[in-house]
Structure 1
């Protein structure tokens, strides 16, 4: 408290310091006033306000955190579906066997997308005479109650690979 006093025993507001005996003579102890740092309101009226604010804002904060986690898992589910579609298209382009490509796409989605994509379906079809298309669909995982996992779909299309001998 002594550090708050300026020259001649005065505090920052220009008030003088009471003598130690004055408070005891009046029959009461000297209680320093508590002021709120920002508004100048006494701190006694604000007791417990932070607890109430925490109780009010905590559900919103938790919802934002869970929604962020769900968005991240949706992004990972899209990446897993894209990788599975690329793998199915690669098998279809090289072997020209739609059944083997669909099986490889499902297996790859189960391996790479474990925990981030559910209900995976893989469809491989020919587009014209010289291209194939692989479509992988599924659902992202649900983290936030009430917000279901969103539908994920990735499509990859590419030319059928053909062997052409050197001439």
Structure 2
């Protein structure tokens, strides 16, 4: 009878351990990629809203429809991180607000991640100098 050393008795243990831990590792990998995709989509939506605000708020600038169009154009050029839903702009007497809504890119089938970002900015106007 031959005696086995501890290294020989553990032979084959690594593939079993890998088979047990690999699903958890893959789940963490896909979850981190999905989180990054959601944050990128939020960033795209916020930047598009800011572009819409900057275009609409200038003195004698464009109207709300042109600001919305510029926001849509930015989203279209930013890649597929955000599937655009709606762009809504409103210009009041003192403030412009643009809201960009849509869905983030999803690597998980059947799971949706709605995104909505809003940007505000003051309308440029002439004011009286302080006495």
Q: Normalised by the shorter chain, which TM-score bucket? A: 0.7 to 0.9
State the alpha-carbon separation in 1 of the partners of residues 17 and 99 from structure 2. Answer: 48
Alpha-carbon contact 1:117-1:141 (below 8 Å) kept:
yes
Query: What SS does the corresponding residue of 1:137 show, helix, strand or coil?
Result: strand
State the alpha-carbon separation in 1 of the partners of residues 29 and 121 from structure 2. Answer: 39
CA deviation string 1:7-51 (max 9, x = no partner): xxxxxxxxxxxxxxxxxxxxx8xx564125xxxxxx42x332221
Q: Higher strand fraction: Structure 1 or Structure 2?
A: 2
State the alpha-carbon separation in 1 of the partners of residues 27 and 112 from structure 2. Answer: 15
Match of 1:57 in 2: 21
State the alpha-carbon separation in 2 of the partners of residues 120 and 107 from structure 1. Answer: 13
Matches within 5 A, 1:29-108: 33-36=4-7, 43-44=8-9, 46-94=10-58, 95-108=61-74
Tell me by how many angstroms 1:97 deviates.
0.5
**Structure 2 gap ranges (5+):** none
- Alpha-carbon RMSD across the aligned residues, in angstroms, is 2.2
State the alpha-carbon separation in 1 of the partners of residues 103 and 31 from structure 2. Answer: 16
State the alpha-carbon separation in 1 of the partners of residues 74 and 89 from structure 2. Answer: 14
Match of 1:5 in 2: none
**Structure 1 gap ranges (5+):** 1-27, 37-42
TM-score (ref. length: structure 2): 0.84
State the alpha-carbon separation in 2 of the partners of residues 145 and 49 from structure 1. Answer: 34
Alpha-carbon contact 1:106-1:120 (below 8 Å) kept:
no
Q: For CA contacts below 8 A with separation 6 or more, give which structure has more relative contact order.
A: 2
Query: What SS does the corresponding residue of 2:5 show, helix, strand or coil?
Result: coil
Larger radius of gyration: 1
